[in-house]
Amino acid sequence: MSVSASLDESTVTAQPGGEADIALQVLNSGDTVEECRFEVVGPCAAWTTVEPASLSLYPGATGTATITLRPPRSWEIAPGDTPLGLRVVPTSDRNQPVALERGVTILPFTEVTSELVPRGSAGILRGRHKVAIDSRGNTPVTVGLSARGATERARLGFEATELTIPPGQAKFAALKVRPAKRLWRGTPVTHPFQVMVTPRAEEGHDPYEPVVLDGSYEQQAILPRWLPRVLAVAVLVAAVLVGLWFALLRPTVRSAAREAITPQAVESAARQADKERNAEEQKGGQQGGQQGGGQKGAGGGGDSQQGGSGGSGGDASRSPGGDASAEPGGGGGSAIPTSARVQVRDRVGGGSAQETAYQVPEGKTLQLTDIVVQNPQGDAGTLVISSDDGQLLNLALENFRDSDYHFVTPIEVRAKGTVTISVSCREVGKPVKAPTPSQCSESLFLGGKLAPGKETNG
């Protein structure tokens, strides 16, 4: 190998954000002119340069180049010994470069930024803030936190007065501001204060300047300004209502009560009381006659007559029961639940599309109780539901997506009658997150009962 190189072996320290130089000597011990190029390798390559980038040396000549280190001021540059590698590549024999290596000491540095969030707070009993602290240095830092108010009317306190922050990270410290006295009413009071964030310096180093943050807390009154006015209005309204009660409503109620107590009402109440008393006496007499066992003939005859009348009453009570039991038997054609569903599609610009939703069977009557219409696409146009007797519903499609109608009194459609749906499409809807369809699409659901009935005329 005709080329040799060496680096200055003196100690080299580099401050992040600063600059340091290392001397490089190259010797051409060959018989021909040699050109050498320099390549920096290793962790320092991103922020290291060589000037000049190449040297041309005559046989036996020595050349000098300068290696310049410029580490950035970033937390990513770790402090301590960092290896520096250099390759000297001769152009005549590129496969045999000269490799040099040495160490470079990167110095630690501390840089702290902080922010008060929010800068101003408001509240009745306290104000809440957070202090955000960023460590932008390449070594862990311990910071002290303190706060002071402009006056003695507020007390300030941190949850933690000291934080240790790793390089490139941030931490938050909670700060509470409490007023010394409560403010019941009046104008809000502003309490300004300052927060100091001070990095702790290592022994033998100069102290760091603290980062000062300004903030304020607005103490609000416990009783708002509008409360007295609202209370006055409430008292006034209450007084007006009480006056109306005693002046108008109370006399009206008393008058209505007196008018309700009429001779007819008293007489009706007396008659009702007599009827209830006679019924109780009659019931007691019947029970006494059954226990007497014929001690008195006249009395027994009287009981017999009452028993006879009671027997006829029993027949009368059974007769309706018999009729009621006969009705289900005669109701062999009782109503049967039924339902139907139909879907109608129509294009824009054409005539209306019509479909038959239900046709009543022969000899039956449809008792329609439920109608449900659906417009899932959000189309615009007209939907008409009709029977043989005329329109049942005429709806604008743009007014609904799902709509249901329930009838206490059923709509009757006679035998062989039909229920139809007609759709006239004016604009096709656009479903959310779905392709736009090519035509309107509506659905109809019918619910009800089939009962015996008569056929339609004609």
Gap between the terminal Cα atoms of the chain? 121
Residues 6+ apart with CB under 8 A from 144: 161, 162, 196, 197, 198, 200
Is the preceding omega at residue 207 within 30 degrees of 0, hence cis?
A: no
pLDDT digits (tens, 9 = 90+) for 81-137: 999 999 999 988 888 899 999 999 999 999 999 999 999 999 988 999 999 999 999
Contact 66, 48 (CB under 8 A): no
Q: What percent of the chain has pLDDT over 90?
A: 54
pLDDT digits (tens, 9 = 90+) for 254-292: 666 665 555 566 667 667 777 877 777 777 666 655 554
Instruction: Judge whether residue 453 has pLDDT over 90.
Output: no
Residues 6+ apart with CB under 8 A from 141: 110, 112, 135, 164, 165, 199, 200
Give the pLDDT confidence score for residue 38 in this predicted structure. Answer: 93
Give the pLDDT confidence score for residue 383 in this predicted structure. Answer: 95
Give the pLDDT confidence score for residue 331 in this predicted structure. Answer: 40
pLDDT digits (tens, 9 = 90+) for 287-337: 655 554 444 443 333 433 333 333 333 333 333 333 333 333 334 457 899
The upper half-sphere exposure of residue 423, i.e. CA atoms within 13 Å in the direction of its Cβ, equals: 28
Burial of residue 290, with CB atoms counted within 10 A of its CB: 0-12 exposed, 13-18 middle, 19 or more buried: exposed
Mean pLDDT of the chain: 83
- The distance from CA 251 to its chain's CA centroid, rounded to whole angstroms, is 54
Q: Which residues pair with 64 in a beta bridge?
A: 25
Give the pLDDT confidence score for residue 368 in this predicted structure. Answer: 93
Query: Could you tell me which of 438, 368, 378, 376 has the C-alpha nearest to residue 408?
Result: 368
Give the pLDDT confidence score for residue 298 in this predicted structure. Answer: 39
Instruction: Judge whether residue 243 has pLDDT over 90.
Output: no
Give the pLDDT confidence score for residue 185 in this predicted structure. Answer: 82
Q: What percent of the chain has pLDDT over 70?
A: 84
Query: Could you tell me which of 294, 274, 413, 304 has the C-alpha nearest to residue 357?
Result: 413
DSSP tally for the chain: helices H, then strands E? 4, 26
Give the pLDDT confidence score for residue 294 in this predicted structure. Answer: 46
Spatial strand order of the sheet with 154-158 comes to 112-117, 127-135, 170-179, 154-158
Contact 410, 448 (CB under 8 A): yes
Which residues in 276-285 are b (16+ Cβ under 10 Å) and which e?
Answer: eeeeeeeeee
Spatial strand order of the sheet with 418-427 comes to 353-359, 418-427, 380-387, 390-396
pLDDT digits (tens, 9 = 90+) for 176-225: 999 988 888 888 999 999 999 999 988 777 888 899 999 999 988 888 77
Give the pLDDT confidence score for residue 313 in this predicted structure. Answer: 37
Measure the CA–CA gap between 17 and 38, rounded to whole angstroms.
Answer: 24
Instruction: Judge whether residue 373 has pLDDT over 90.
Output: yes
Measure the CA–CA gap between 428 and 380, rounded to whole angstroms.
Answer: 6
